């Protein structure tokens, strides 16, 4: 089992992988419709929205939390 390099999600099923391609290191939630990985800005926006919806934080607090989480992930470590 791999973990998504862009969001940390465990990828257990083929359907968890971008485009169902188990050779990819990122998940279906971090892929654009064409199968390429989202940019840092795209992922930050989507993760911020996810945190607002699921944890009830305001947008600024959610963005701060998202940046902190993303800094720990391989895809964004050098940002």
Per-position pLDDT tens, the chain of length 79 = 899 999 999 999 999 999 999 999 999 999 999 999 999 999 999 999 999 999 999 999 999 999 999 999 999 998 8
**Alpha-carbon distance values, 71 to 14, 18, 22, 35, 65 (Å):** 26, 21, 24, 23, 10
SS3 29: helix
Domain segments of the chain as ranges: 2-76
pLDDT for the residue numbered 10: 97
Q: CA 12, CA 35: separation in Å to the nearest integer?
A: 18
pTM of the prediction?
A: 0.87
The C-alpha R_g of the chain, in whole angstroms, comes to: 12
Distances (CA, A) of 9 to 3, 25, 26, 58, 60: 5, 11, 9, 23, 23
- Determine the pLDDT at residue 8: 94
């Amino acid at each position: 089992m791999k973990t998504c390099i862009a969001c940390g999600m465990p990828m257990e099923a083929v359907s968890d992988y971008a485009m169902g391609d188990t050779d990819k290191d990122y998940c279906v939630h971090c892929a654009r419709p064409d199968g390429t990985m989202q940019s840092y800005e795209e992922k930050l926006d989507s993760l911020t929205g996810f945190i607002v919806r699921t944890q009830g934080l305001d947008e600024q607090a959610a963005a701060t939390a998202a940046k902190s989480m993303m800094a720990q992930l391989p895809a964004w470590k050098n940002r």
